Structure 1
């Protein structure tokens, strides 16, 4: 799947699942997100498990899926799934600079609402922002007519 199709799936998605490593155990969490220029942004509490994990081990993976629904058949062994998905890998960091946090929160907000939004300095200082520089991402779909 080409980058244009992958980005179309991301634009339609409402949740991104971020996978991290907690020692030798995988940890995944569904998050609101923003995407721009091959970079993902997430927000959350300054003191959270995901922040701690990213600071210890910045390599992450992520997943988006849309239009997921089962395709039934008479024989359950012939059932299939209709979906479009994106899976990728990247390097995460916690954003510290206020101006970069503001821009990231604007990108996140734009994923869900039109128009511009403002953030106060206290809001920016109280909010953690995670930035993921995407290294690789791939897209896949099933149950759709070839384009």
Structure 2
């Protein structure tokens, strides 16, 4: 990171920024090039590691790419605010952003899928006691991203 003065390293502050972001943008790479997709997500710490969860249909480009290459990049941001100045090149922006990399794995069991979906639903609704029928979960992929790199930056 070039601007170390904007780096956020406090893990509680990073958690708060993540919790206030609404969309996780995933970057994939295949033989056709880079593919970026926004997803709803949740996160937690598991055995000292940061993990993100997201869901998808059982088929499609995202699933095909992940089967071939489970390495992803991700980005999320919040709080964009234009900071104006007299000169055009002195304008800036206030923001908080997170950029990272990780390894994706598919969640297979009904119980683990339910837990992950409840975590995702809780991060958007505040409610974590949803029930999901087996038919729905059979056509839904739930993925975990094991974070391998993460940087957080803010400009107030």
**TM-score computed with the length of structure 1 as normaliser:** 0.93
- Tell me the equivalent position of 2:149: 136
Q: How many matched pairs?
A: 143
- Tell me the equivalent position of 1:85: 97
Structure 2 stretches lacking a partner, 5+ long = 1-7
Segments of 4+ moved more than 2 angstroms: none
- Tell me the equivalent position of 1:19: 27
**TM-score computed with the length of structure 2 as normaliser:** 0.87
Work out the CA distance in 2 between the residues paired with 1:121 and 1:50.
Answer: 22
* 2:114 alignment partner, SS class: helix
Work out the CA distance in 1 between the residues paired with 2:11 and 2:32.
Answer: 32
Once the two structures are superposed, the pairs formed by residues 60-99 of structure 1 within 5 Å of their partners are: 60-99=72-111
Once the two structures are superposed, the pairs formed by residues 42-121 of structure 1 within 5 Å of their partners are: 42-115=54-127, 116-121=129-134
- Tell me the equivalent position of 1:31: 39
RMSD: 1.1
Structure 1 stretches lacking a partner, 5+ long = none
1:53-104 Cα shifts (integer Å, max 9, x gaps): 1110011111110101221112111100110011111100222211111111
* 1:47 alignment partner, SS class: coil
